[in-house]
Amino acid sequence: MTRTLAAALLALTLLAGACSDQDHGTSQDDGTSREGTEPPAAPVIGAWHELVAEVDGDVVLVNGYPEDGIDPGPVDLWRWDGESWTVLEPDGERPSGRNFAGITWDGARGELVLYGGLTPDGASDETWTWDGDGWSRATGSGPGPRSSPSLAYDAASRRVLLYGGDDGASQYDDTWAWDGAAWARVATEGPTPVRWPAFFEQDPESGSPVLYGGHQLVDEDAPAAVGDTWVWVGDRWRPIRGGGGEPGPLVNANGVVHPDHGLLLVGGSDSKRENGRVWRWTGTAWQPLGEDVMPPRQAFGLAYDEQRDVVVLTGGVVEPGSVERHQDVWEWVGDPGVPAVRVLADE
């Protein structure tokens, strides 16, 4: 999920257990490093992560953990300057480590919203907000425990929308809205078939959130990719059919709002192989913008850096079915004829 950038590139990482004790030390319950250890020089990009660009400029990386384990340590902050990472350590309470949370930028209130995710204790029902200085945990009830919910900002209602998710036993197709203080369910049913995690991002032209693809559960061992488009208009979902080409069934795609191209859908997998294609949303259909613009990836982070006028891509799955994740960073200048360039190699 992305917006714009005006200051330095800020990265926020749930990293406490992603680095080994031998190399970087472990974190205590209060989030401080053990005495005598040095902070890690860079985040270890997890199985799940998101880039979210704040309206005033900073791009935030929310990072998870390897699929074979989640450390409950608190959130760390990182800044990317185009060449290297710098760790930041804010004071106060922070979310514990998790994978597959829902993340987006709340344009009305100028803060990051994080919901749910998979923790060592199972799916979480926590709501956290980040204002650029610190975290706040919201009180009150909401959608309930959810892993892999899809979040997007809705400009028309000035609220953050949450679609679906999974609690470990069931998948959901309901829709909830966050007004900065409380959640309210606004639709009991949504896009069919039920899918998770779906691409979900606001179209800057219409202001309406657009949802694409995701997994549908064919059976417990074989989730299948979905390839349809839905738009949230007013107070309901509207399917978009016909009117042009479609990217096809995709899971773990990501997107970005670009000043020259509008809403873009990038990469993803058809459950067999990754791709590096870029598609542009016209308001009624997807149009291909470039075939091999980005590295073939799924489950990667993506954001637009306004200060340097580049799209930033981080991490992603090495190959389908693998728990190994890329640790590199790529940047794209926005020209469909110029492929992205890797600016930080895998380590």
Q: What is the pLDDT of residues 13-69, one digit of tens each?
A: 443 333 333 333 333 333 333 344 566 678 888 878 887 776 556 676 777 776 666
pLDDT at 57: 63
Q: What is the mean pLDDT of residues 2-13?
A: 38
The mean pLDDT value of the chain amounts to 83
Domains of the chain: 97-344 (2.120.10.80)
Higher pLDDT, 322 or 279: 279
pLDDT digits (tens, 9 = 90+) for 84-137: 777 767 778 999 888 899 999 999 999 999 999 998 889 999 999 988 888 899
Average pLDDT score over residue span 178-188? 97
Residue 77 has pLDDT above 90, yes or no: no
Dump pLDDT digits (tens) for 129-152: 988 888 899 999 999 999 999 999
| Residues paired with residue 154 on neighbouring β-strands, in sequence order | 159
Residue 58: predicted pLDDT:
66
Res. 342 pLDDT band, cuts 50 70 90: very high
pLDDT (average), residues 291-304:
93
Max mean pLDDT among 11-15, 74-78, 201-205, 217-221 falls in: 201-205
**pLDDT value, residue 85:** 78
What's the burial of 71, exposed, middle or buried (CB within 10 Å: 0-12/13-18/19+)?
buried
CA dihedral 225, 220, 161, 297 (to 10 degrees): -40
Closest listed residue to residue 149, CA positions, set 112, 99, 109, 105: 99
| Over residues 202-219, mean pLDDT | 92
| Residues 6 or more apart in contact with residue 345 via CB below 8 angstroms | 328
**What is the identity of the amino acid at 165?**
G
Q: Cβ contacts of residue 220 below 8 Å, gap of 6+?
A: none
pTM for the whole structure? 0.87
